[in-house]
């Protein structure tokens, strides 16, 4: 219930609030420094969720999934950092990043109260919803808005990775039922 | 020199057992940017299939049939020897959207 609601909220913010993505300027689309910040933040959020799951998860498939998330998202963010350094771009904090971080810390606190099978189920359900929301935002907002070709290309690779994660999470969720 | 020797050894095996046909080759398949290329590959029974992972992400080549499950750490390769004929659908366990086919002929 909570999972669905917060995912829907995240999707709503990411997808249908260009004003939020535009920040203080009236622009309809986020700038490259803002996109870089949003993408990096989205990765950090999933890394933190995976670290929590490594401590709390009981099911071996869920533990393995968390390990995969940690490894992949760290690899993507490492590439993102290398790219912003190369392009001499400073990621710029913005309302979308702040909203995502706030939602994520609420979710961590919520999941922290659960244990055992209840935690496993809630973590995986949130991973499905979260990747779905991020993929929607990448496809409809972040990739089309990115002006630098290398940033766009990294986001496109990210989209393929995260689509893979979504399918993997769906598979793990189905196994838990 | 080397391929010739491998081949004659293989031929000797063929004559000895009358089961394994022809000389074994290595079929290379690349994984890059989450794309498997070629997506449709073919090999003969007894061939070695080598997957070359050029990504900074770990992948696997996992047969739906359970015939093989090759781990491919970031920037590493892995191999399997195909033992039976037929078309195998395989995927990456970490990114199940990465799918490909391997046709194994006798």
Q: In this model, does residue A5 exceed pLDDT 60?
A: no
Q: In this model, does residue A16 exceed pLDDT 50?
A: no
The pLDDT value given to residue A77: 95
Read off the pLDDT of residues B49-103 as tens digits, 9 standing for 90 and up.
999 999 999 999 999 999 999 999 999 999 999 999 999 999 999 999 999 999 9
Let me know if residue A92 belongs to a domain. Answer: yes
> A75 and B97: CB-CB below 8 Å?
no
Indicate the pTM of the whole model: 0.82
Question: How many domains does one find in chain B?
Answer: 1
A74, A150, A161: which to substitute to probe chain B, counting the most B Cβ within 10 Å? A161
- Provide the CATH number for the domain around residue A113: 1.20.1260.10
Q: Which residues of B touch A78 (CB under 8 A)?
A: 56
Integer Cα distance of B21 and B86 in angstroms: 15
The pLDDT value given to residue B63: 97
Let me know if residue B6 belongs to a domain. Answer: no
Neighbours of B104 (CB within 10 A): 21
Residue B96's domain comprises: 21-105
- Mean pLDDT computed over every residue of chain A: 88
Q: Which runs of consecutive H residues, i.e. helices, occur in B1-106?
A: 2-17
The pLDDT value given to residue A1: 43
Q: Do the bridges between strand B69-72 and strand B59-63 make them parallel or antiparallel, or are there none, so unpaired?
A: antiparallel
Q: In this model, does residue A24 exceed pLDDT 80?
A: no
- Mean pLDDT computed over every residue of chain B: 87
Read off the pLDDT of residues A67-118 as tens digits, 9 standing for 90 and up.
999 999 999 999 999 999 999 999 999 999 999 999 999 999 999 999 999 9
SS3 at position A97: helix
The pLDDT value given to residue A10: 54
More confident residue, A1 or A119: A119
Let me know if residue B99 belongs to a domain. Answer: yes
Asked which of A3-12, A30-39, A69-78 is least confident by mean pLDDT, the reply is A3-12
A82 shares contact with chain B (CB less than 8 Å): no
Integer Cα distance of A56 and A115 in angstroms: 7
> B95 and A75: CB-CB below 8 Å?
no
Question: How many domains does one find in chain A?
Answer: 1
> Among partner residues A78, A157, A164, which is closest to B94 by beta-carbon distance?
A164
Let me know if residue A49 belongs to a domain. Answer: yes
Structure tokens at B23: 């000389």
Cα–Cα distances in Å, from A147 out to A6, A24, A78? 30, 19, 21
Neighbours of A99 (CB within 10 A): 18
The pLDDT value given to residue A26: 37
A5-30 mean pLDDT: 51
Let me know if residue A109 belongs to a domain. Answer: yes
Q: Rounding to the nearest 10 degrees, give the CA dihedral for residues A77, A83, A85, A86.
A: 160
Let me know if residue B5 belongs to a domain. Answer: no
Q: Can you tell me the ipTM of this complex?
A: 0.81
The pLDDT value given to residue B29: 98
The pLDDT value given to residue A177: 80
Residue A104's domain comprises: 31-176
The pLDDT value given to residue A11: 52
Q: In this model, does residue B22 exceed pLDDT 60?
A: no
Q: In this model, does residue B10 exceed pLDDT 90?
A: no
């Amino acid at each position: 219930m909570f999972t669905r609601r917060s995912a829907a909220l995240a999707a709503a913010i990411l997808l249908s609030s260009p004003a939020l993505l535009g920040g203080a300027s009236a622009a309809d689309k986020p700038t490259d420094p803002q996109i870089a910040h949003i993408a990096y933040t989205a990765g950090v959020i999933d890394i933190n969720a995976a670290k929590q799951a490594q401590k709390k998860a009981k099911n071996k498939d869920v533990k393995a999934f968390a390990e995969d998330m940690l490894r992949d998202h760290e690899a993507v963010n490492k590439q993102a950092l290398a790219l912003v350094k190369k392009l001499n771009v400073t990621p710029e904090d913005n309302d979308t990043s702040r909203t995502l971080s706030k939602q994520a810390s609420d979710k961590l606190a919520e999941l922290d109260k659960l244990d055992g099978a209840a935690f496993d189920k809630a973590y995986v359900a949130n991973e499905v919803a979260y990747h779905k929301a991020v993929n929607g935002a990448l496809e409809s907002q972040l990739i089309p808005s990115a002006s630098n070709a290398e940033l766009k290309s990294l986001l496109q690779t990210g989209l393929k990775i995260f689509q893979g994660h979504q399918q993997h999470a769906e598979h793990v969720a189905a196994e838990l039922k | 020199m080397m391929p010739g020797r491998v081949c004659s050894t293989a031929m000797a095996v063929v004559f000895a057992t009358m089961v394994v046909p022809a000389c074994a080759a290595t079929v290379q398949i690349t994984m890059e940017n989450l794309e498997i290329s070629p997506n449709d590959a073919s090999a003969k029974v007894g061939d070695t299939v080598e997957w070359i992972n050029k990504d900074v992400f770990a992948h696997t080549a996992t047969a739906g049939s359970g015939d093989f499950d090759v781990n491919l750490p970031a920037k590493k390769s892995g191999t399997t020897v195909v033992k039976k004929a037929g078309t195998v659908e395989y995927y990456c366990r970490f990114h199940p959207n990465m799918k490909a086919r391997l046709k194994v002929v006798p």
